[in-house]
Amino acid sequence: MKFLRNLLASIIGSIVAFGIIFFMFLIFISLAGAEEGVVVKKNSVLELTLPLPISDYTGTDQADPFAGLFEKSQGLDEILHAIRVAKTDDEISGISINSNFLLAGTSQAQAIRRALADFKMGGKFVYAYGDIFLQKDYYLASVADSVFINPVGSMDFKGLSAEILYYKSLQEKTGVKMEVVRQGKFKGAVEPFLADKMSDENREQIAALLNGVWAAMLNEIAESRTLTTNELNEIADTLGARTPQYAKTSGLIDDILFKDEYDSIIKRRVGVEADKKYNSIALSDYVEVANSKRLNKGKDRIAIIFAEGEILYGQGSPDYIGQGTMAKALAKARDDDRVKAVVLRVNSPGGSALTSDIIWREVIRTRKQKPVVVSMGDVAASGGYYIAVGADKIFAEATSITGSIGVFGTIPNISELAADIGVNAEQVGTNKNAVDYSFFEPMSDNFRAYLQEGIATTYNTFLERVAAGRDMDLEAVEQVAQGRVWSGEDAKKLGLVDEIGGLEDAIAEAASLAGIESYSLRKLPRYKSGFERFMDDLGGAGVELREVAMKEELGEEAYGILKEIRSAINQKGIQARMPFTINIR
Segment 264-319, tens digit of pLDDT: 999 999 999 999 999 999 999 999 999 989 889 899 999 999 999 999 999 998 88
Tell me what percent of the residues of the chain surpass a pLDDT of 70.
81
Scored b (16 or more CB within 10 A) or e, 539-552 reads eeeeeeeeeeeeee
Do β-strands 485-487 and 372-381 pair in parallel, antiparallel, or remain unpaired? unpaired
Do β-strands 350-352 and 575-577 pair in parallel, antiparallel, or remain unpaired? antiparallel
Do β-strands 339-348 and 310-311 pair in parallel, antiparallel, or remain unpaired? unpaired
Where in the sequence numbering do the catalytic residues fall?
187, 382
Do β-strands 255-256 and 92-97 pair in parallel, antiparallel, or remain unpaired? unpaired
Domains 37-158+239-291 and 301-540 equal at CATH topology level: yes
This prediction's pTM? 0.85
What pLDDT, on a 0 to 100 scale, did the predictor assign at position 180?
Answer: 83
Per-residue pLDDT tens digits for 224-256: 999 999 999 999 999 999 999 999 999 999 999
**In the predicted structure, residue 221 carries a pLDDT above the cut 90:** yes
**Full DSSP string of 185-205:** TT-GGGHHHH-SS--HHHHHH
Task: State the distance between the two ends of the chain, measured CA to CA, in whole angstroms.
Answer: 59
How is the chain split into domains, by residue range? 37-158+239-291, 301-540
State the CATH class of domain 37-158+239-291.
alpha beta
Assign domain 301-540 to its CATH superfamily: 2-enoyl-CoA Hydratase; Chain A, domain 1 (3.90.226.10)
Tell me what percent of the residues of the chain surpass a pLDDT of 90.
64
Per-residue pLDDT tens digits for 86-145: 999 999 999 999 977 899 999 999 999 999 999 999 999 999 999 999 999 999 999 999
